[in-house]
Amino acid sequence: MVNRVAVLVFLACYFVVVINGSGGALTLSSSKLIHRYSEEAKALWVSRSGNVDVKWPKKNSLEYLELLVRNDLMKKKKKTQNMKLVNHYDLLFPSHGSQTLFFGDDLAWLHYTWIDIGTPNVSFMVALDAGSDLLWVPCDCINCAPFSATYYNNTMLDRDLSEYNPSLSNTSKNLPCSHHLCKLGTNCKGPKEPCPYIVDYSSANTSTSGFLVEDKLHLASVSNHATKNHVQASVILGCGRIQSGSYLNGAAPDGVMGLGLGDISVPSLLAKAGLIQNSFSICFDENDSGRILFGDEVFATQQSTPFLPSAGKYGDYYVGLEHYCVGSFCLKLTQFQALVDSGTSFTYLPTEVYEKIVFEFDKQVNATRIHLQDSTFEYCYNASSQELHSIPSMRLMFTMNRSYLIHNPLLTDSENQAFSNFCLTLLQTDGEYGIIGQNFMKGYRLVFDRENLKLGWSKSNCQDINGNQAQLKPPSNDGSPNPLPTTEQQSIPNTHAVPPAVAKRASSNSSVAVPQQIPSWLGLMISLVLLVFCLPVT
């Protein structure tokens, strides 16, 4: 314990390895350890300060030990404060509760959650989009989707949607053009003007535009350290005055919460503020509901695969797939990169890969292929109830032989008890990368570990945390209404499916590279340093 208490002024012996640029020679240097309260340290102090009357504690005296213990306590206190700053809350979730909602074709096959913004708080049902960054809501509208619940009569909405008015929130303030997160600041007439924004999405002619505002997002906490249930976090959101395309036709009529890697996204702002670890999880279950948690982390029993940089930087959640398996057969030459995106309705594959997959699926399936007029999907079938049980499974294979079973790659519409129509929910894209959409995410707890740049997954019913059952509901004194009910099993859509919330940040021609490894010479150099460091000093 005495050795742990002792505070060292310098390292006992350190060795610096210097690579000579011309000859690559190694040189070693060393330095002597001096104890903080030794006679030698006192002599150095006197020689530098010129003060010969310096008070110095006698070795092993009570004063000597008290000084050492006091110093250790100060270091421990500082370390604890820093740890609390890094992870103030274990988990955060929207103040309405962590539940997500799914309405199928009625609201563009996206997943939603209720959030509260501003003071007094106003509720919005926002779509969850891991493919973009900005949180935006309809605001001071010039061109927005309808707010009346009766307009969305098939969704079982029990109340109208909301419109945000920054002037009615006591905690809102415009983000100035001079702010470092204002991307269009060069278009402003002055630095104090409200920062304009415009975001274009991959769906045809789909966009949102307006100006940026800073306000409070209302959250609830789950933590071993925090005593408060309510958390108000400062976030930057878009006051969406003009929407176009899919946002006027049923997709995200009340706004979008971007969950991407950009500095302006909600996970980024919460982590930078020290409220949570830099990660979040989403879980979509088979019953059309689910959960979102900020600060959730990959745990030991989960499988994982690294995120990959695009065009040299980590801007989106790209992963690399080694193989695509149909039944027990894993197809060769099906390596591709894919964006993991909850804001895309279905899963898209590069054309070459898509053609191999659907050909193999069609060969293995024991059902009659049919053509459904105006259907989004090419490969649809009519099958008896017995034939439905023999549909070949599908798996994604990542690096290190990590397996990801697709729980339900089909969309089924029962004609009667004896026969059903079903379609394989795969679409093709002309780009070089694919998109893993929300339909392939169901049945998994997906952890977007942004700190360690990896995606973790494990089978889940969306009711557990690290294997323990948990009901993450709003605090008991929260005045928020109950979460909305979800819809029944959806039928096969007759309209074209679109990925309404995938922001156009990465070109389809962007190259995706595997993270670089440490060079072998650097590993050898580090090993030599550690070896020399452990040698006794004579």
Q: Which residues contact 100 (CB under 8 A, 6 or more apart)?
A: 111, 112, 113, 128, 282, 283, 284, 289, 290, 291, 292
Distance of alpha carbon 451 from alpha carbon 280, whole angstroms: 10
Overall size of the chain counted in residues: 538
Structure-block tokens of residue 519: 């060079």
215 is annotated as an active-site residue: no
Structure-block tokens of residue 31: 């330095």
β-strands 426-429, 347-350: how paired?
A: parallel
Distance of alpha carbon 293 from alpha carbon 472, whole angstroms: 9
Structure-block tokens of residue 23: 């000859």
Task: Kindly calculate the radius of gyration of the chain based on its CA atoms and give it in whole angstroms.
Answer: 29
Structure-block tokens of residue 263: 């500095």
116 is annotated as an active-site residue: no
Instruction: For 439, list phi and psi in degrees, rounded to 5.
Output: -65, -25
CA 194 to mean position of chain CA atoms: 28
How many alpha carbons fall within 13 Å on the CB side of residue 127?
32
Distance of alpha carbon 449 from alpha carbon 438, whole angstroms: 18
DSSP state of 184: T
Say if residues 316 and 339 touch (Cβ distance below 8 Å).
Answer: yes
Tell me the H-state helices in 264-373.
266-272, 351-364
> Is the torsion defined by CA of 463, 469, 470, 471 positive or negative?
positive
Please give, one letter per residue, the 3-state secondary structure of 118-179: CCCCEEEEEEEECCCCCEEEEEEEEECCCCCHHHHCCCCCCCCCCCECHHHCCCCEECECCC
Longest CA pairwise span in the chain (Å): 100
Determine which one of 105, 129, 254, 285 is catalytic.
Answer: 129
Residue 73 parent element (H or E): helix 62-86
Determine which one of 133, 215, 341, 449 is catalytic.
Answer: 341
DSSP state of 503: B
Determine what percent of the chain falls in helix, strand and coil, rounding each to the nearest 5: 20, 35, 45
β-strands 99-102, 111-117: how paired?
A: antiparallel
Distance of alpha carbon 237 from alpha carbon 248, whole angstroms: 19
Cis previous bond, 392, omega within 30: no
Tell me the H-state helices in 297-350.
none
Say if residues 429 and 509 touch (Cβ distance below 8 Å).
Answer: no
Structure-block tokens of residue 267: 């996970």
Cis previous bond, 519, omega within 30: no
Active site residues: 129, 341
